Amino acid sequence: MSYADASFDACVSALAIDVIPEVDQVVREMRRVTRVGGTVASGVFDFWGGFSPADLVCDTASVLDEGMRSVRDQRKARPIVWANGQAAIWRESGLVDVVEAPIVISFDYASFEDYWSSFSMPIGQIGQRVAALSAELRAEVERHVRSGYLAGLPDGPRSFAIIVRVVRGTVPAGG
C-alpha cells in the first residue's frame, strides 16, 4: 500500500481478503500502515458449512459437474476461510490480542425462484459456473437444488444461516 508506516488507527477488510492470493502479504501491509495499539481486522465468509445457500448449489452441482467440483474445492481449500484461519495469519504476522469470532447472518428468500436467481446469473464464481453449464445440465442442477430447497414442503420463504468469521488484532509496541 502506498501509505506511510503507522498512518491509520485501524485497517479493516470486509469480505474481500479471502479472494486475494497473497493474504500474508496483505496482512503484513495492513499491520505496517496501522499505528501501535491500533486494530487490524477482517471478516470472511466461512466456506466450511457457514455459507449454506451456496453449499446447496455447489455440493449438488459438484456431483454432476467436474468444473463446479473444482470451484467448490478451491473455495474451501484456503485456511483463511476456516475457523481460526484468519487468527492464525494474524498471529503469524505479529499482531497481539487476536480474537476471532463467528457472526451469523440470515439470508432470506421469498421463494425458490428468488433463491435460484442468486446463483443462476453469471455473477461470482458459482453463478459463472452455473451459467457455463449446458442447458440440459443446468436444468438438472436446478431440479436437484429445487428439491433440496423445498425438502418436501410447498414453495415459499426460506432462511439460510451464513457465518462470517471476523478477526481483530492489535499492533504491538515496537512493531
- Asked, for residue 1, whether it belongs to a domain, the answer is no
What stretches of the chain adopt beta strand conformation (E)? 8-14, 34-45, 96-109, 158-170
Domain count, the chain: 1
CATH number at residue 36: 3.40.50.150
- Asked, for residue 152, whether it belongs to a domain, the answer is yes
- Asked, for residue 143, whether it belongs to a domain, the answer is yes
What is the pLDDT of the chain when averaged over all its residues?
95
- Asked, for residue 111, whether it belongs to a domain, the answer is yes
pLDDT band for position 19 (50/70/90)? confident
Contact 98, 85 (CB under 8 A): no
Domain boundaries, position 63: 8-170
- Asked, for residue 42, whether it belongs to a domain, the answer is yes
pLDDT at 142: 98
- Asked, for residue 29, whether it belongs to a domain, the answer is yes
The packing angle between helices 135-150 and 52-64, to 10°, is: 130
pLDDT at 159 over 70: yes
pLDDT band for position 175 (50/70/90)? low
- The 10s digit of each residue's pLDDT in 27-73 is 999 999 999 999 999 999 998 888 999 999 999 999 999 999 999 99
- Asked, for residue 96, whether it belongs to a domain, the answer is yes
- Taking the model in full, what pTM does it have? 0.86
- Asked, for residue 95, whether it belongs to a domain, the answer is yes
